[in-house]
């Protein structure tokens, strides 16, 4: 049975970097409620990462993600000078030296991914949405979060992908294959929007149109959160839904600001920021401070 | 005088027929995609139940989420108004009405005359309504009718972190995976909805007698959780889901 909500898990490492020559090797492990990432940074540069679904047990997920990130690199856990845990399950990363909040890690990670001009980061994660304001160093200056409601989160999108039997990775593209942009679904609540969508399908709406209506509603919900904190350019998006152009383009249209184009996988922002914090802490530790 | 009330609910359409304020017929039909058709079906069934013909009905008023789509009438009243009217008629000592339907929860304060003094609604979020128990019964893989009785067999309170029906579903799956007894999870589910409803009740300041109506009143597990959270007993009428339609039919007689 096809599971439409299931996105591809994967890992990557930079073939041009030799870990044996690295001085400061650190890792960040971001255990979220839906996905987990382990990211390895060597001497300030991103070296490797893994992205997988969080299992029913956080510590096991953390270990699996870490092992997978190192796969094929010849590295072992002993090579890691410092490990930082973050995310919803950060206290459950058994091999972490320290835990740092996901807000701080996201800002730091976005600063690496998008550069020092980024001032507003919208993270659309598995079960929460965060808006983070930061300075040129990636330090948090303000934030707001919605973690009580599935609207605008990955889980909300998974429910829809499943309902419409569309692979989640295709949702964005397909939502633009419509004759004209439909009005958004009237309910923000995913549960109610789902009933509404079923009704629309029965009335003859093609799938893509329903996807468009839903993406539109989700984009609007996120814009409300953005306006709570205020948007300062440059603006960037992280998290899984950053890969959904159906939501991203529509929210860009609504706020009248374009997001910086991603150059790295948007789901690793938290883990990457954690690993970068690890770099600083390891440096301090080694210099005997 | 024979009148009818049509409650165009989000999930079920209810019709009540009154003769001089006394219920003589009723029917409930699942709201299909064409709600008008479903309402016509419910109306015909209620007429059959009452043993009368449509011509004998002198007035019709609609209520409920989809009331502007109701057939046979262009008069409608709010859900809050119809609930209060019906409850006071049958329970003159009622001062608080709690109505938990498929997609909306409400708390209503009223006075001895049945006038609404204050009300609070939860209409934006599935976690304070029947849609939540439906989603949870799916996650627990039990029939919705069994969820209530099953939860009563639990004597343990386990905390549920999720306030959202979608997140709660994942949380329930996790709990089941970790071998938490299903009846304890069921109880936690009812506690979660009850706490949302109680916060609505606190907003209006609840006062006895408290009458609980709406389809979810049939869920014994929810009732237990609600009474524990309110620290007060609630009165549950027979046919709790028909009160909206009942109130609308009373309004039709006042015309």
Please tell me which of the candidates A56, A127, A202 has its beta carbon nearest to residue B167.
Answer: A127
Q: How far is B164 from chain A (nearest CA, A)?
A: 5
Decide if B170 and A33 are in contact by the 8 Å CB cutoff. Answer: yes
The pLDDT assigned to B72 comes to 94
Decide if A189 and B124 are in contact by the 8 Å CB cutoff. Answer: yes
Q: Is the pLDDT of residue B70 over 60?
A: yes
CA distance linking residue B9 with residue B103, whole number of Å? 9
Average pLDDT of the residues in A186-207: 88
Q: How confident is the model at residue A41 (pLDDT cuts 50, 70, 90)?
A: very high
Q: Is the pLDDT of residue A167 over 60?
A: yes
Residue A186's alpha-carbon distances to A93, A191, A194, A217, in angstroms, are 40, 12, 11, 7
Domain B1-91+241-255 sits in CATH at 3.30.420.40
Q: Where are the domains of chain B?
A: 1-91+241-255, 93-236
Q: Is B167 on the interface with A (CB under 8 A)?
A: yes
Q: Is A191 on the interface with B (CB under 8 A)?
A: yes
Average pLDDT of the residues in A44-64: 92
Q: What is the DSSP string of chain B?
A: -EEEEEEE-SSEEEEEEEETTEEEEEEEEE--SSHHHHHHHHHHHHHHHHT--GGG--EEEEESTTGGG-SS-S-B--HHHHHHHHHHHH-TT--EEEEE-SS-EEEEEE-TTS-EEEEEEE-S-GGGSHHHHHHHHHHHT--HHHHHHHHHT----------SHHHHHHHHHHHHHTT--HHHHHHHHHHHHHHHHHHHHHHH---SSEEEESGGGG-HHHHHHHHHHHTS--B--SSGGGHHHHHHHHHHHT-
Q: What is the pLDDT of residues A91-143, one digit of tens each?
A: 778 899 999 999 999 999 999 999 999 999 999 999 999 999 999 999 999 99
Assign domain A10-108+268-286 to a CATH class. Answer: alpha beta
Interface test with A, best of B129, B164, B168, B199 (most A CBs within 10 A): B164
Give A-chain residues touching B132 at CB under 8 angstroms. 191
Please tell me which of the candidates B163, B165, B174 has its beta carbon nearest to residue A191.
Answer: B165
Which residues have CB under 8 Å from A16's CB, separation 6+? none
Decide if B135 and A190 are in contact by the 8 Å CB cutoff. Answer: no
Q: Is A223 on the interface with B (CB under 8 A)?
A: no
Please tell me which of the candidates A56, A149, A202 has its beta carbon nearest to residue B125.
Answer: A149
Q: Is B46 on the interface with A (CB under 8 A)?
A: no
Please tell me which of the candidates B163, B166, B170 has its beta carbon nearest to residue A191.
Answer: B166
Residue range(s) of every CATH 3.30.420.40 domain in chain A:
10-108+268-286, 118-259
Q: How confident is the model at residue B78 (pLDDT cuts 50, 70, 90)?
A: very high
Q: What is the pLDDT of residues B123-156, one digit of tens each?
A: 888 888 998 998 899 889 999 999 999 999 998 9
The single residue listed with the structure tokens 């590295």 is A75
Q: Is A190 on the interface with B (CB under 8 A)?
A: yes
Decide if B163 and A149 are in contact by the 8 Å CB cutoff. Answer: yes
Percent of chain A with pLDDT over 90: 79
Please tell me which of the candidates A56, A149, A192 has its beta carbon nearest to residue B174.
Answer: A56
Q: Is the pLDDT of residue A90 over 80?
A: no
Q: How confident is the model at residue B255 (pLDDT cuts 50, 70, 90)?
A: low
Q: Is B136 on the interface with A (CB under 8 A)?
A: no
Decide if B131 and A191 are in contact by the 8 Å CB cutoff. Answer: yes
Assign domain B93-236 to a CATH class. Answer: alpha beta
Question: Which has more pLDDT, A147 or A141?
Answer: A141
Decide if B125 and A189 are in contact by the 8 Å CB cutoff. Answer: yes
CA distance linking residue B251 with residue A197, whole number of Å? 34
Q: How confident is the model at residue A89 (pLDDT cuts 50, 70, 90)?
A: low
Please tell me which of the candidates A156, A187, A203 has its beta carbon nearest to residue B166.
Answer: A156
The pLDDT assigned to B159 comes to 84
CA distance linking residue B98 with residue B8, whole number of Å? 18
Same fold: B1-91+241-255 with B93-236:
yes
Q: How confident is the model at residue B214 (pLDDT cuts 50, 70, 90)?
A: very high
Q: Is the pLDDT of residue A257 over 70?
A: yes
Which phi and psi (to 5°) does residue B137 adopt?
A: -65, -30
The pLDDT assigned to B33 comes to 79
Q: How confident is the model at residue A188 (pLDDT cuts 50, 70, 90)?
A: confident
Give A-chain residues touching B175 at CB under 8 angstroms. none
The pLDDT assigned to B112 comes to 82
Query: In chain B, which residue's Cα lies nearest the Cα of A186?
Result: B124
Give A-chain residues touching B166 at CB under 8 angstroms. 150, 155-156, 159, 190-191
Q: How confident is the model at residue A289 (pLDDT cuts 50, 70, 90)?
A: low
The single residue listed with the structure tokens 């593209």 is A173
Q: Is the pLDDT of residue A58 over 90?
A: no
Domain A118-259 in CATH: superfamily?
ATPase, nucleotide binding domain (3.30.420.40)
Least confident among A3-12, A161-170, B62-71:
A3-12
Q: How confident is the model at residue A7 (pLDDT cuts 50, 70, 90)?
A: confident
The pLDDT assigned to B160 comes to 85
The pLDDT assigned to A235 comes to 97
Nearest alpha carbon to residue A7 among A205, A261, A242, A275: A242
Q: What is the pLDDT of residues B41-61, one digit of tens each?
A: 999 999 999 999 999 999 999
Decide if B170 and A155 are in contact by the 8 Å CB cutoff. Answer: yes
Q: Is A148 on the interface with B (CB under 8 A)?
A: yes
- How many other C-beta atoms lie within 10 A of the C-beta of residue B113? 8
Q: Is the pLDDT of residue B164 over 90?
A: no
CA distance linking residue A80 with residue A97, whole number of Å? 11
- What burial class does residue A159 get, using C-beta atoms within 10 Å of its C-beta: 0-12 exposed, 13-18 middle, 19+ buried? buried
Decide if B126 and A192 are in contact by the 8 Å CB cutoff. Answer: yes
Q: Is A215 on the interface with B (CB under 8 A)?
A: no
Give B-chain residues touching A160 at CB under 8 angstroms. none
Q: How far is B99 from chain A (nearest CA, A)?
A: 18
Q: How confident is the model at residue A248 (pLDDT cuts 50, 70, 90)?
A: very high
Decide if B167 and A150 are in contact by the 8 Å CB cutoff. Answer: yes
Which residues have CB under 8 Å from B199's CB, separation 6+? none
């Amino acid at each position: 049975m096809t599971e439409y909500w299931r996105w591809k898990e994967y890992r990557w490492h930079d073939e041009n970097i030799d870990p044996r020559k690295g001085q400061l090797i650190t890792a960040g492990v971001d255990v979220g409620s839906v996905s987990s990432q382990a990211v390895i940074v060597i001497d300030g540069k991103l070296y490797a990462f893994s992205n997988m679904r969080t299992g029913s047990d956080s510590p096991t997920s953390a270990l699996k993600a870490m092992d997978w990130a190192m796969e094929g690199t010849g590295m072992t856990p002993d090579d890691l000078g410092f490990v930082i845990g973050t995310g919803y399950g950060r206290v459950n990363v058994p091999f972490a030296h320290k835990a740092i909040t996901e807000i701080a890690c996201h800002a730091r990670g976005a600063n690496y991914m998008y550069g020092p001009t980024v001032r507003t980061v919208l993270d659309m994660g598995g079960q929460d949405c965060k808006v983070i304001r930061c300075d040129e160093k990636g330090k948090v200056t303000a934030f707001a979060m919605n973690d009580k409601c599935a609207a605008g989160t990955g889980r909300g999108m998974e429910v829809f992908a499943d309902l419409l039997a569309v692979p989640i990775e295709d949702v964005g593209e397909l939502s633009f294959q419509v004759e004209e942009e439909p009005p958004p679904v009237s309910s923000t609540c995913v549960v109610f929007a789902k009933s509404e969508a079923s009704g629309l399908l029965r009335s003859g709406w093609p799938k893509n149109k329903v996807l468009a209506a839903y993406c539109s509603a989700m984009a609007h919900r996120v814009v409300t959160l953005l306006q709570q904190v205020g948007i300062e350019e440059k603006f960037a998006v992280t998290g899984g839904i950053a890969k959904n152009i159906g939501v991203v383009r529509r929210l860009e249209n609504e706020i009248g600001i374009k997001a910086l184009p991603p150059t790295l996988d948007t789901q690793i922002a938290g883990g990457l920021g954690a690993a970068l914090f690890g770099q600083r802490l390891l440096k301090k530790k080694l210099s005997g401070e | 005088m024979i009148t009818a009330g049509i409650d165009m609910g989000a999930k079920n359409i209810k019709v009540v027929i009154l003769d001089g304020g006394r219920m003589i017929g009723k029917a409930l039909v699942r709201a299909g995609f064409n709600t008008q058709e479903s309402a016509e079906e419910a109306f015909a069934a209620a007429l059959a139940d009452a043993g009368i013909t449509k011509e004998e009905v002198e007035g019709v008023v609609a209520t409920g989420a989809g009331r502007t789509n109701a057939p046979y009438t262009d008069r409608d009243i709010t859900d809050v108004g119809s609930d209060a009217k019906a409850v006071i008629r049958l329970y003159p000592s009622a001062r608080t009405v709690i109505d938990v339907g498929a997609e909306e929860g409400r708390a209503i304060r009223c006075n001895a005359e049945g006038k609404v003094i204050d009300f609070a609604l939860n209409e934006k979020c599935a976690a304070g309504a029947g849609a939540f128990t439906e989603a949870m019964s799916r996650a627990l893989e039990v029939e919705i009718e069994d969820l209530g009785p099953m939860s009563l067999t639990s004597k343990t309170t386990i905390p549920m972190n999720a306030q959202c029906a979608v997140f709660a579903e994942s949380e329930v799956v996790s709990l089941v995976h970790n071998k938490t007894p299903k009846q304890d999870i069921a109880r936690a589910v009812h506690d979660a909805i009850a706490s949302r409803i109680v916060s609505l009740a606190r907003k209006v300041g609840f006062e006895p007698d408290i009458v609980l109506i709406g389809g979810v009143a049939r869920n014994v597990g929810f009732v237990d959780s609600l009474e524990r959270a309110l620290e007060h007993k609630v009165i549950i009428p027979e046919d709790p889901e028909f009160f909206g339609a009942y109130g609308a039919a009373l309004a039709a007689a006042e015309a």
